[in-house]
Chains A and B, each alone.
Chain A
């Protein structure tokens, strides 16, 4: 006798793996479609276009041990602020890049962060077009969550932490769709004292890229997404470090005040200014700026590796084939020229990073551009360094020692702007 049609014999095999396979496939396809759709909506691709340096001639730095890299991270935060923009040749994606080691990794990751220029003069329309926030003091890092694990890497590519987190794909939880695409990348500063990752920017979320989105969108997105993901919750077994957003203000008088003097849960290290319309651009960009003074940062004037302020300002420049000394900017700024004897005598080669002091002759400018620098050769730079100083950094440091840009200058720039607007609203609209 057969059971009634709707009554499944209780003790008969209950599993139909075929149906399960079908459902899992449909789930995977739906997830992939969603990923594709979201990628399309936020433009660009999931893949970070990275362009690795051409393996050309020249002194490729020897493989650097993690040990050394770690010691560099102890080096104070100024060291992180330079980038270079050498020409690219090969594409990677961030997950492949995780396999890079040593110098390769350092170069790769160094190139993925957006590096603010130093604020050497106040940009126009500061109060309309810019955000401001207090930068947490700590280690700038890239946090990548994918395949069930979260890895934070310092700017030099060395791993800071490897941990489970509540970020998408950041811990091994049930993910039937098996979507390897679901990864996220955050631009963070790790703040030692409270063991907190402060998120200063969002680069990828759930597999879709925010590179080509404006800062306005990225901040809006990180604000709404990060909390939802549970990443801001207190640490737990599957979420070892807590993440936190930093308060971001419109850069009007109140906003600047709030960022400059407002109480925050972290130690401040200067102020960051982000242009609202700017996309996330890797390397140096004038659309993100850093500024600091004694009140909002412990480190205003550069120190040496022992933490002492040298008598003369020191700069690191790169030696070119034609013996010119250049900054890391694109295009580079030429600070001077070495004479051939010195190069021969000290055994220097093209591409070397060299350390100089700025002598009493200082820097002189003509038509707003650098005209001449009084450079005194000190020696080769610490070999763990990847890049020369940027132009804006040298100038900012120079200004700090001679005639710094003060908070009042920023405030008055905002106020004068406001006054002008009040006086000539019509003109503004045409503008």
Chain B
């Protein structure tokens, strides 16, 4: 048997597809027939020094994959399966794994490390395998260097896998001691020292207690800083990674060390190899992130009662930090603008400079301006580009009062550079800088406009001209135009300053989408995105021009649907284009369909558009489906009950969308579209409701569907009930128990993290919207008494939400509205129940005096409904 496993594992890596396939089938069969024996042979294979390295490594990987999966439901299944195994089998497997840590084969050790971490991830939270940490630590004390390295690596993986609560503080202390000792300069073996440094990176989350103790913290910090000076580049890089992690995890403990860290990072930025220098810059970027968060959360004047105080490290370091970063800007790579994935010291330095500007605001300006003035006209493109990049970087953060005068001076220079500079790099950065000017310093919120009737025409002319430049420059010019248009989106009813150029802008953007080379540098996408924004800011006087665009976009979409026999690559591009075109039509539908002035003319295209969207569904592309679905939702809203005629054809795609578990975004959007249909068709949606409800109920019961789709499904129940009224009767018996159990689950949030609390609130909102729709749907019907049995539970749910005190404003508003809906629909029958509920007193009173006018409005409505219900 054992020999056979080795051969199968080797065959599974064969270059011959047939052999490989056969071996994979064998493995699958083996696993299904006898899991314990299968896992045991894999562990044995991995531990056996006489076996080939290839079969050992694959055995370990298969073992690892049998313990963990990306999908939540499969992961849960694997965990349960492991826990249910016979303890003696598990014991043997674990022994094999520990033994492998001493193997001379690096691959075998490394694989065993990962598998041990997976097993620990399952068992430690269950308080099983208590001897693991002790065993590992005793390994470190005695054994040869390679075992020590593998053991440290294992400790690192365990810290990554397990949450800190699952490990006793004693064990944590021992792990940290072992790791920090391994990092120490006295450790002569570089592999051990590197493994220890990487292990610390993962173990930092466990070190809360140790970082609160001055002596222990001093020691850890000293060792980390020393490791940044190691002769080995990988160790220096790993040590800086530790510093970055410390800067975000223990920001409030950094004050005593910040001066030293500055010196270390400055030296690395100036002299060290790029991977190390990048981490050194990242340290300061990370400090900026922390300070921006703190300052945002507590307002700019720190009052002393915030959880984490701001230490203003950036402000203090400013006079030396800014020149350091400015120097990095001159180290550009050739052609970095054409390479999508590029990341180098100049880009990291500019990114950090932008974060510094956001952190300190006005103070950065005088430190950067001399650099700009010195370099902006130099013959070397690097200097001109660096100067422009520096200017663009500081446009977010400082006050408009500080920036507007500078921008007014710079604007003309930039416009002319965009036309005339011989360097593509400079033009790329110039267009980007113009975009940043418009993004942050242009719009109705600003008092002094940088764009005036005097320069508007010139700006538009230059940008449209620049859109004919090489793809990366044209793409940035599109971006600048995007923000230029966005600034006019909320202007008053007066004709937009863009009106005179509107036709030219639309034509130019449309021409860009059709450029041969529009596939490069994301140019086509940028052009469509800008087109969308320009459409959004169209006004009554320019909407006829948007109307003229419609047949062109429809024709483009039609052409993508006619193309056949494409290569995989071409098909992918075609699908992307379909997504962009559907997205563009969606924006146009939303714009022209929402104004009475354009709606009726526009809807003449509805039949043709709908036919195109339906054809998009026959192509296999999640993005295109999503965009088409959104467009159809907008169309349904615009057409209203007239949408009925498309339903028989559209329905099957709607159902397909509701069944699309893999691309859950498509599923979520389809659920939203069901809501649009309900509001458009009202009771005419009835013939489709059986099928829709069946599918929605299936979705809710599935553990494969991403959880984010569930709240909108509940809201959708409400939409359906509101549309079909008492006809919802037959679904009550299914929907109500689901709502009830979801309500019970969501009633409490204690101990949840922010993400979970946010999700719980969205779930509550969905449940409450369902109740609201159902009550209002039944209002005035003779069947309202069917809802009576559910009233006590619903009131209890509202009470428990109120007592929990963890709901956000949206939930509060919806909840108090449900109270009103219940009273409104059930009337005096529910009077006594309502009077017993706390919600009808304390909760209602709190909402009545709320500052949030939506909450207050709902509460006033609820009060009125309750008064009616209990006074009769």
Q: Which of the segments B259-267, B412-420, B672-680 contacts the partner chain?
A: B672-680
> In the bound complex, how far is the Cα of B473 from the Cα of A11, in angstroms?
12
Contact with B along A1-27 (1 / 0, CB 8 A): 111100101111111111001101110
Q: Which of the segments A30-38, A83-91, A404-412 contacts the partner chain?
A: A30-38
Q: Which of the segments B291-299, B525-533, B831-839 contacts the partner chain?
A: B525-533
Check if B595 is an interface residue, CB within 8 A of chain A. Answer: yes
Contact with A along B517-550 (1 / 0, CB 8 A): 0000010001011001100000000000000000
> In the bound complex, how far is the Cα of B343 from the Cα of A26, in angstroms?
35
Check if B145 is an interface residue, CB within 8 A of chain A. Answer: no
> In the bound complex, how far is the Cα of B341 from the Cα of A179, in angstroms?
40
Check if A164 is an interface residue, CB within 8 A of chain B. Answer: yes
Check if A149 is an interface residue, CB within 8 A of chain B. Answer: yes
Judging by beta carbons under 8 Å apart, are A1 and B429 in contact?
no
Kindly list chain B residues whose C-beta atoms are within 8 Å of the C-beta of A11. 347, 350, 389, 392, 429, 432
Query: In the complex, which residues 147-165 of chain A have their Cβ closer than 8 Å to any Cβ of chain B?
Result: 147-149, 164
* Pick from B354, B492, B522, B528: contact of A172, CB under 8 Å: B492
Q: Which residue of A is nearest B860, CB measured?
A: A224
> In the bound complex, how far is the Cα of B864 from the Cα of A217, in angstroms?
8
Kindly list chain A residues whose C-beta atoms are within 8 Å of the C-beta of B596. 95-96, 147, 180
Q: Which residue of B is nearest A99, CB measured?
A: B596
Judging by beta carbons under 8 Å apart, are A37 and B344 in contact?
no
Kindly list chain A residues whose C-beta atoms are within 8 Å of the C-beta of B343. 1-3, 9
Kindly list chain B residues whose C-beta atoms are within 8 Å of the C-beta of A254. none
Query: In the complex, which residues 267-310 of chain B have their Cβ closer than 8 Å to any Cβ of chain A?
Result: 274-275, 278, 282, 285
Cβ-Cβ contact count across A and B, 8 Å cutoff = 144
Judging by beta carbons under 8 Å apart, are B821 and A41 in contact?
yes
Kindly list chain A residues whose C-beta atoms are within 8 Å of the C-beta of B821. 41
The answer to whether residues A178 and B594 also contact, given A36-B679, A217-B864 and a CB cut-off of 8 A, is yes
Contact with A along B650-686 (1 / 0, CB 8 A): 0000000000000001000100100110010000000
Judging by beta carbons under 8 Å apart, are A17 and B493 in contact?
no
> In the bound complex, how far is the Cα of B282 from the Cα of A29, in angstroms?
41
Q: What's the least CB distance linking B657 to chain A, in Å?
A: 14
B residues touching A (Cβ–Cβ < 8 Å)?
A: 274-275, 278, 282, 285, 340-344, 347-348, 350-351, 354, 389, 392-393, 429, 432, 439, 475, 479, 482, 489-493, 522, 526, 528-529, 532-533, 579, 583, 586-587, 590-591, 594-597, 599, 623, 626-627, 630, 633-634, 637, 665, 669, 672, 675-676, 679, 715, 718-719, 722, 769, 772-773, 776-777, 779, 817, 820-821, 824, 853, 856-857, 860-861, 864
Q: What's the least CB distance linking B791 to chain A, in Å?
A: 18
Q: What's the least CB distance linking B667 to chain A, in Å?
A: 13
**Selected A-B contacts with CB under 8 Å, 26 pairs:** A2-B343, A4-B282, A7-B282, A9-B347, A11-B392, A12-B340, A15-B479, A15-B529, A17-B532, A18-B579, A22-B626, A22-B669, A25-B590, A25-B669, A32-B676, A33-B675, A33-B715, A33-B719, A36-B722, A37-B772, A41-B817, A164-B493, A173-B490, A179-B594, A180-B595, A180-B599
Q: What's the least CB distance linking B323 to chain A, in Å?
A: 19
> In the bound complex, how far is the Cα of B860 from the Cα of A225, in angstroms?
11
Judging by beta carbons under 8 Å apart, are A28 and B861 in contact?
no
Judging by beta carbons under 8 Å apart, are A7 and B719 in contact?
no
Check if A171 is an interface residue, CB within 8 A of chain B. Answer: yes
Judging by beta carbons under 8 Å apart, are A41 and B492 in contact?
no
Judging by beta carbons under 8 Å apart, are B675 and A21 in contact?
no
Judging by beta carbons under 8 Å apart, are B776 and A37 in contact?
yes
Check if A92 is an interface residue, CB within 8 A of chain B. Answer: no
Judging by beta carbons under 8 Å apart, are B637 and A32 in contact?
yes
> In the bound complex, how far is the Cα of B67 from the Cα of A127, in angstroms?
79
Q: Which residue of B is nearest A164, CB measured?
A: B493
Report whether over half of chain B's contact residues are helix, strand or loop; otherwise say mixed.
Answer: helix
Contact with B along A173-199 (1 / 0, CB 8 A): 110001110000000000000000000
Judging by beta carbons under 8 Å apart, are A180 and B532 in contact?
no
> In the bound complex, how far is the Cα of B526 from the Cα of A150, in angstroms?
37
Q: What's the least CB distance linking A31 to chain B, in Å?
A: 10
Judging by beta carbons under 8 Å apart, are B630 and A22 in contact?
yes
Kindly list chain A residues whose C-beta atoms are within 8 Å of the C-beta of B347. 3, 9-11
Judging by beta carbons under 8 Å apart, are A25 and B672 in contact?
yes
Check if A298 is an interface residue, CB within 8 A of chain B. Answer: no
Judging by beta carbons under 8 Å apart, are B776 and A41 in contact?
yes
Judging by beta carbons under 8 Å apart, are A15 and B482 in contact?
yes
Interface centre among B342, B533, B777, B820 (most CB of A within 10 A): B342
> In the bound complex, how far is the Cα of B719 from the Cα of A16, in angstroms?
30
Q: Which residue of A is nearest B531, CB measured?
A: A17
> In the bound complex, how far is the Cα of B599 from the Cα of A356, in angstroms?
49
Check if A220 is an interface residue, CB within 8 A of chain B. Answer: yes
Judging by beta carbons under 8 Å apart, are B776 and A40 in contact?
yes
Interface centre among B528, B776, B817, B860 (most CB of A within 10 A): B776
Kindly list chain B residues whose C-beta atoms are within 8 Å of the C-beta of A25. 586, 590, 630, 633-634, 669, 672
* Pick from B429, B479, B492: contact of A13, CB under 8 Å: B479
Which 10 A/B pairs are nearest by Cβ-Cβ distance?
A: A174-B490, A17-B529, A40-B776, A178-B594, A10-B351, A3-B343, A172-B493, A180-B594, A1-B343, A25-B630
> In the bound complex, how far is the Cα of B285 from the Cα of A3, in angstroms?
12
The answer to whether residues A24 and B590 also contact, given A11-B350, A17-B532, A32-B679 and a CB cut-off of 8 A, is yes
Q: Which residue of A is nearest B586, CB measured?
A: A21
Kindly list chain B residues whose C-beta atoms are within 8 Å of the C-beta of A18. 579, 583, 623, 627
Q: What's the least CB distance linking B581 to chain A, in Å?
A: 13
Kindly list chain A residues whose C-beta atoms are within 8 Å of the C-beta of B278. 1
Check if A238 is an interface residue, CB within 8 A of chain B. Answer: yes
> In the bound complex, how far is the Cα of B337 from the Cα of A9, in angstroms?
11
Check if A237 is an interface residue, CB within 8 A of chain B. Answer: yes
Kindly list chain A residues whose C-beta atoms are within 8 Å of the C-beta of B591. 178
Kindly list chain B residues whose C-beta atoms are within 8 Å of the C-beta of A36. 679, 719, 722
Judging by beta carbons under 8 Å apart, are B590 and A28 in contact?
yes
Check if A228 is an interface residue, CB within 8 A of chain B. Answer: yes
Q: Which residue of A is nearest B863, CB measured?
A: A220
> In the bound complex, how far is the Cα of B475 from the Cα of A220, in angstroms?
55
> In the bound complex, how far is the Cα of B428 from the Cα of A12, in angstroms?
11
> In the bound complex, how far is the Cα of B540 from the Cα of A148, in angstroms?
11
* Pick from A10, A32, A173: contact of B350, CB under 8 Å: A10
Judging by beta carbons under 8 Å apart, are B817 and A37 in contact?
yes
> In the bound complex, how far is the Cα of B861 from the Cα of A260, in angstroms?
32
Q: What's the least CB distance linking A381 to chain B, in Å?
A: 36
Kindly list chain B residues whose C-beta atoms are within 8 Å of the C-beta of A21. 532, 583, 586-587, 627, 630
Query: In the complex, which residues 335-356 of chain A have their Cβ closer than 8 Å to any Cβ of chain B?
Result: none
> In the bound complex, how far is the Cα of B278 from the Cα of A9, in angstroms?
13
Kindly list chain B residues whose C-beta atoms are within 8 Å of the C-beta of A10. 347, 350-351, 354, 393
Q: Which residue of B is nearest A25, CB measured?
A: B630
Interface centre among A2, A25, A217, A238 (most CB of B within 10 A): A25
> In the bound complex, how far is the Cα of B349 from the Cα of A10, in angstroms?
10
Judging by beta carbons under 8 Å apart, are A220 and B864 in contact?
yes
> In the bound complex, how far is the Cα of B771 from the Cα of A40, in angstroms?
13
Q: Which residue of B is nearest A95, CB measured?
A: B596
Q: What's the least CB distance linking A83 to chain B, in Å?
A: 27
Kindly list chain A residues whose C-beta atoms are within 8 Å of the C-beta of B526. 13, 15
> In the bound complex, how far is the Cα of B493 from the Cα of A164, in angstroms?
9
> In the bound complex, how far is the Cα of B344 from the Cα of A41, in angstroms?
59
Kindly list chain A residues whose C-beta atoms are within 8 Å of the C-beta of B672. 25-26, 29
> In the bound complex, how far is the Cα of B824 from the Cα of A190, in angstroms?
36
Kindly list chain B residues whose C-beta atoms are within 8 Å of the C-beta of A43. 779
> In the bound complex, how far is the Cα of B669 from the Cα of A218, in angstroms?
38
Given contacts A164-B493, A217-B864, 13 further A-B contacts (CB under 8 A): A1-B342, A3-B347, A9-B342, A10-B347, A13-B475, A14-B439, A17-B583, A29-B676, A33-B675, A36-B679, A37-B817, A173-B490, A178-B591
Kindly list chain A residues whose C-beta atoms are within 8 Å of the C-beta of B824. 41
Interface centre among A1, A2, A15, A225 (most CB of B within 10 A): A15
Contact with B along A213-243 (1 / 0, CB 8 A): 0000100100011001000000001100000
The answer to whether residues A237 and B341 also contact, given A29-B676, A41-B861 and a CB cut-off of 8 A, is no
Kindly list chain A residues whose C-beta atoms are within 8 Å of the C-beta of B579. 18
